[in-house]
A and B are shown apart, each in its own frame.
Chain A
Amino acid sequence: MNPPRLRLFAPALLAILLASMVLAVTLGPADIAPMEVWQTIGHRLGLVAESPVGRLREAIIWELRLPRVLVAAAMGAGLALCGAVLQALTRNPLADPYLLGLSSGASLGAVIFLLLGATLLMPLGAFLGAGAAMALTLLVTQLLGGVTPSRAILAGISISALAAAGTSLLIFWSVTADSYREILSWLMGSLGGVVWGEALPVLAGVAVLGGLLLVSGRALDAFAFGETAAASLGVDVARLRWLLLGGTALLTGVLVSIGGAIGFVGLVVPHIVRLVTGSRHRLLLPVSMLAGAIFMVWTDTAARSLFAPRELPVGILTALLGAPIFLLVLFRYRRIT
């Protein structure tokens, strides 16, 4: 695509995202007319004085669907952004929070804090876990002789397996038959039952951390030519790398603490976006965020509506859609690995 059309691309996606969210709020197991949804939202925002919608239907819209749709969008945007940044930092087309062990590390950290009874500190546990997993992955990659795509991915897979085994061990020892199901569904990745109290920190986290990562686009473009080239373009390579790695670990921690390890979004979305935008990060990062958000809003709407009144962990759907695309990516990059 030529630049003028590209300039229109991001606003168009933003419009699609808003339309998707507006539509997703009207869909769900309960049969609620779109009109009731608007009346409720207008009422809650103080735009309409009186609302004819009943108390429980209003609760379904305002307390269940709205925070969930917003969190789904934030989750998709955050994961896609983390994936795009990690792919650039490690110069590895297969990098994402899932494959580099961040998600598994975050899960382990969150489960440890959960079992210690510190439910409120779960995001901190998830961040510490994600940070530790990332540090280990990078350490192993360095010990293997420096960052190459295949080394980073192999190190990430081993760290991921290690963290997953640790999580399984903890669950095996501590969880009784009945509560196993819920932890399992969280590990598969689910946005079920998200309330405002949990949604707001995530929305704030994605806004702040996402904003900080977004402005790094120009520096990442320099990075893409290699560290020496980046340094000669005036980028403080070491400092920038640590800032970005810390930022992605923190953002992954925030996301995993609420939705569990939702896979493949961070991997797949930047690749599809790159097909359209090319690999200039100034464009790739914001467009990936928008595309990721749209993708998650719809997969999560499907997860809560398709098998109603059952609730399906959305991670199953993202993997179901993401894994085949991941295979295509593997074929596309087979020359590199």
Chain B
Amino acid sequence: MRPLPHFLCLSLLLTAPALAQTEYPLTLDNCGVTLSLPAAPERVVAIRSTSTEMLLALGLGERIVGVAFQDGLAAEPWTAQSAVLPVLAEKLPSPEVVLEAEPDLIYAGWESNFSLEGVGERATLGALGVATYVSPAACRSIVPPKLSFDAVFAEIAEVGALFDAGDAARALIAAQQAALAGIAPDPRGLTALWYSSGTKAPYVGAGRNAPQMMLEALGLENIFAGVDDGWISASWEAVVDADPDVIVLVDGERNSVAQKKALLAENPITSQLDAVIHQRYLVIPFAAAEAGVRNVPATRDMAAQLAGLSFTP
């Protein structure tokens, strides 16, 4: 059973530092790389919206010296705060752009952000004295266990520990746990498609990552739960064959919900789906669809949308 080690890990993180502040130097393993911090980071560069929102949610906005590769501004209540953050690059920044901001920590939402095409290799940055942290759910060098809310809370606790912001992390986790406990799984035994993007071959949520985690909490059976991956390029034939009861639409800046609805309604194949005929859609913002502090609020929001859908024939 998987949740147990998670829970242990979480309770260790939650209880151990509860007594005291983080002790530096701090050393921990992050996605197969040893991360050492001589002191709490003061200058952070956040890549991807999930990283920025995690820092803002922990009250660490003042330490952000630059953001990159964001999906628009952060959600409420952090929108105003995120609007004034220096944007280093609209897309993936080059090493020079990031190093110019003189960060002591780079916090990336995707492991691939640390590559030769992006910010640079983690080892190279480490040699320059810049610590690097990858959202553990996005780790690919070491395959993380199937994502759970406990793992999301563990990331909140870990980031809290990095910055000696344990109290803020514990308060946030407690609030999210309470909110999560208030979400009742839908009892109707419905199936769902998690539709992220794509037209010719839909990019969909499969059985391992944030989509599956949120669908399970909603009481929805993911039609691609059996595929052992986070997201996959699926075939429309498999979607039509499963004929999901509801479709979760990811609302991105370029790939908006309006575009997706139009595509589903116009395409001669998808327009035949029950969920499309009856407009049974749940909407989730793009930045909330990956592991992070917005998963719980987004799940609660989708639960409310789901409760409003009628399935009487």
For chain B, residues 195 to 211, give those with C-beta under 8 angstroms from any C-beta of chain A. 196-201, 203
Closest-by-CB residue of B relative to A61 is: B237
Closest-by-CB residue of A relative to B236 is: A193
Q: Is A30 touching B240 in the complex (CB atoms < 8 A)? A: yes
Q: Is the interface of A mostly helix, strand, loop or mixed?
A: helix
Chain B, interface size category, equals: 20 to 34
Closest-by-CB residue of B relative to A28 is: B237
The reply on B35 being an interface residue by CB < 8 A is: no
| Neighbouring A residues of B224 by C-beta, 8 Å | 309
The reply on B305 being an interface residue by CB < 8 A is: no
Q: Chain B 231-264 against A: per-residue CB contact (8 Å), 1 yes, 0 no?
A: 0111111111101000000001111000000000
Q: Is B268 touching A63 in the complex (CB atoms < 8 A)? A: yes
- Cα(A308)–Cα(B226), bound, Å: 11
Q: Is B201 touching A60 in the complex (CB atoms < 8 A)? A: no
Q: How many residue pairs bridge A and B at CB < 8 Å?
A: 102
Chain A contact residue count (CB 8 A cutoff): 32
Contact of A182 among B198, B238, B239, B286 (CB under 8 A): B198
Q: With A178-B286, A195-B269 in contact, is A65–B237 under 8 Å at CB?
A: yes
- Cα(A284)–Cα(B226), bound, Å: 47
Q: Chain B 27-48 against A: per-residue CB contact (8 Å), 1 yes, 0 no?
A: 0000000000000000000000
Q: Is A185 touching B237 in the complex (CB atoms < 8 A)? A: no
Q: Is B241 touching A29 in the complex (CB atoms < 8 A)? A: yes
The reply on A190 being an interface residue by CB < 8 A is: yes
The reply on A310 being an interface residue by CB < 8 A is: yes
- Cα(A308)–Cα(B242), bound, Å: 13
Q: With A60-B241, A182-B198 in contact, is A55–B272 under 8 Å at CB?
A: yes
| Neighbouring A residues of B237 by C-beta, 8 Å | 28-30, 60, 64-65, 304, 308
For residue A103, give the distance in angstroms from its CB to the closest CB of chain B.
18
The reply on B78 being an interface residue by CB < 8 A is: no
Contact of A185 among B201, B232, B267 (CB under 8 A): B201
Contact of A178 among B197, B238, B272, B273 (CB under 8 A): B197
Q: With A310-B227, A311-B233, A311-B235 in contact, is A63–B200 under 8 Å at CB?
A: no
The reply on A93 being an interface residue by CB < 8 A is: no
The reply on A2 being an interface residue by CB < 8 A is: no
Which one of A30, A176, A185, A190 has the greatest number of beta carbons of chain B within 10 Å?
A176
Q: Is B197 touching A182 in the complex (CB atoms < 8 A)? A: yes
| Neighbouring B residues of A232 by C-beta, 8 Å | none
| Neighbouring B residues of A310 by C-beta, 8 Å | 227, 232-235
Q: Is A178 touching B236 in the complex (CB atoms < 8 A)? A: no
19 contacts between A and B (CB under 8 A): A29-B237, A29-B238, A30-B240, A30-B241, A56-B243, A60-B240, A178-B252, A181-B197, A182-B197, A185-B201, A190-B200, A192-B236, A304-B235, A308-B237, A309-B234, A309-B238, A310-B232, A310-B235, A311-B234
Query: A residues within 8 Å of B by Cβ?
Result: 28-31, 55-57, 59-60, 63-65, 176-179, 181-182, 185-186, 190, 192-197, 304, 308-311
Query: B residues within 8 Å of A by Cβ?
Result: 69, 91, 196-201, 203, 224, 227, 232-241, 243, 252-255, 267-269, 272-273, 286
